[in-house]
Structure 1
Amino acid sequence: MNATGEGEAAPRQIEVLASVRGRVMCMDSAYDVDEANRGRDVCVNSSYCGVLPARFIAEHRPRAAIGMDCGVGPEGSAIAGLWYLEALGIPAAVADVMTAHLGDGVHLYHHGIVSFANQPALDCGVTAGMAVREAAALLLEHDPVAAAASEITNRTVMETTPDGRSVVAADSIAFGTSEDTDRNVLVTAGHTGRSAVPYLRRCRPFGFICSDGGRGLNDSGMAGLYLVEADGLAGATVDARRARMGSGLSHYHDGIISAVNALAAAAGVEIGMACPQAAHHLLHRRPPTASPVP
């Protein structure tokens, strides 16, 4: 029976869309993905997307997969398979479990609303809040860009001043460049421990906001914040419990300031401030006074 208790069980896979590139196939379980889907089909399966279902999906390497978030769960266990599949280069997304019937792939296709997507799926145009049927069509017709990890920086300009200086979100401080030197505010998504210091000193942003990494023993996750004060770098951290490490955009949109160094505090950045406001303060702070020429 289906989720409403009526009729016979559906076939293992039902085609709902086709093109020269492949098909969108609906199925009630991730365990119904098979070799016929390899390299061509988007598998809309009404299972949770934990690591175990993702392993079954990955064995047959379909073009893409869409499952259910099942309330996300402790440690994100119900959607952890998104990143398992991302590591294999397979675009994947999940729908809010309250928008479609569990165990009914066709219902998921017609009624589901996307809640989370991995980076390859985002690269194909999938976004949270999108209808599953629209996301499935995008995944069928688009391929994520093949690139090395160091090439996927997700640098995004969030605010720009009239003179062309910007707040730039990126996934790591390692993605800071010479164009940021004494010019841009970087919002990045790694911790601010001592290993971040060489990267901060190399690119010398006008200001920076990184993660506190959950603070760590003896506040080691934010030690770099104070080590670079002598270099004239104004910086702050956001609470790692509120913003996703590894996502500069999450740090910008979701971040709440957890610590500031003296230079950032002088610019008006305060603990508890939302990241966009803090980044704005850093972008518009008064430049350090140049040292007099001897």
Structure 2
Amino acid sequence: MADTITPPSAATRPIVADSVTRLGPEAEGAVLVAASHGGVYAAYLAAVSKVRGVILNDAGLGLDRAGIGGLDLAQKIGLAAATVSHDSARIGDGRDMMARGRISHANVAAIAAGVEPGQSCAEAAERLATATPPFDRPAPYAEARRELTPRGPLGPRIVLIDSAALVKAEDAGQVVITGSHGGLIGGDTWNALKTDAFAAGYNDAGIGIDEAGTTRLPALDARAIAGFVVSCNTARIGEAASTYEDGLVSRVNRRAHALGLREGQSAREAVEILMDAMEGRIETA
């Protein structure tokens, strides 16, 4: 099933989306319920879409409470923003957030509109329809994509992207490290990663209800792509550099396990193993 965006039928009805990375002009002035993590980059994308208010997933809070870091960004421009608990609704599934989500955190602008912890996501979305629109736009986001060639220009590349939506076709066959959560967006296996990389890494978003924060891994297996997630408590979600530099592996798929990746390894160690495999230095176990 492809990821979905449900447009409002009236001004007060929220837009429900599986990801904040795929919003159209209909988002402007609307309340957005998006099953992305609540980190800075996701909140930034919501803000530049000119939404009235936004509800995201707290992604297990994690290192430096990065899973709700977007609430502060939103507050700086007067955007009412809240998150649902990762233990109440599946990350990557907007309809599930509306059906089961429970508010875990809210910024001052959202609280002023009547949003509070413990509310259902649906009730909070209704309250946000009365929120004062933001008074400003966010500052431009810093570079969200870069590449490393630790083994020289002819060796394998490490592609660091803060959002999996930034992957490119030319990243096929490389190691792609993202700041994104490991949840499969909209249940579509192609959404696990929109190129056939050799391997990909994500943040486990606290794993959460139905182990939603790891559901990209079997989808990658189906495409013979090695996949792993790092614990949200060891790396800041939404920051690929933190996934790579700080993360400790919490789950791996079958393909990654066959190449030698294991839970508890550092992401750096995991990537070294993957690059060895790409250069033919190790064989599948």
Q: TM-score, normalised by structure 2?
A: 0.47
Larger radius of gyration: 1
- The higher-RCO structure (CA 8 Å, 6+ apart) is 2
- How does the TM-score come out when normalised to structure 1? 0.46
